[in-house]
Structure 1
Amino acid sequence: MTTYIVLINWTDQGIRNVRDSTKRLDAAKKLLGDMGGSFQNFFLTMGDHDLVAVCEAPDDAVMARFNLSLGMAGNVRTRTLKAFPEAAYREIIGSLG
């Protein structure tokens, strides 16, 4: 599984309906689960982003479909980072000439 950091901001629609956001989170977790992925962590944050999720998915295409599905609902906008765990980081750095 590949790890992704998802930076999330509510849209105007999303913040107007913020009381429903926990239900939307549950639906998002189910959607990603149905696609073969999962949420590892989820945070309400202060600063440039309203929410941050750490997710796993089988591949980039699954994560792209998931993010597009979230965006189509109109409540959030996402920015997704592909994350390399420490072991992969060490391998990559160690392979440098």
Structure 2
Amino acid sequence: MTSYIVLINWTDQGVRDVRSSPKRLDAAKKLLGEMGGSFKQFYLTMGEYDMVAIAEAPDDAVVARFALILGQGGNIRTRTLKAFPELAYREIIASLG
């Protein structure tokens, strides 16, 4: 499975209905699970982003579809980063020669 870091901000609509946010998170977790992925960590954050999720999915296309489906709801905007674990990081650096 590939790891992804998802940076999330509420839209105006999403923050107006913030009390429903936990239910939307549960629905998002269920959706990603049905797509073959999972949430590994989730954080409410202070600063530039409102929330951060660490997720795993079979491939980039699954995560792209997932982000687009979430965006269609109009409650959040996401930025998704593909994450390389430490072992991959070391292999990439070692391959530089």
TM-score category (smaller protein): over 0.9
1:20-59 to structure 2, matched below 5 A, reads 20-59=20-59
- Distance across 1 between alignment mates of 2:27 and 2:64: 17
Query: Which runs of 5 or more residues in structure 1 are unaligned?
Result: none
Give per-residue Cα distances to partners, 1:28-62, cap 9 Å, x unaligned.
Answer: 00000000000000000000000000000000000
What secondary structure does 1:46 align onto?
A: coil
Cα offset for 1:3? Answer: 0.2
User: AA paired with 1:29?
Assistant: K
Alignment match, 2:63: 63
**What's the TM-score once normalised by structure 2's chain length?**
0.99
Identity of aligned residues (%): 77
What secondary structure does 1:68 align onto?
A: helix
- Distance across 1 between alignment mates of 2:23 and 2:55: 18
**What's the TM-score once normalised by structure 1's chain length?**
0.99
- Distance across 1 between alignment mates of 2:79 and 2:48: 12
Query: Which runs of 5 or more residues in structure 2 are unaligned?
Result: none
Alignment match, 2:83: 83
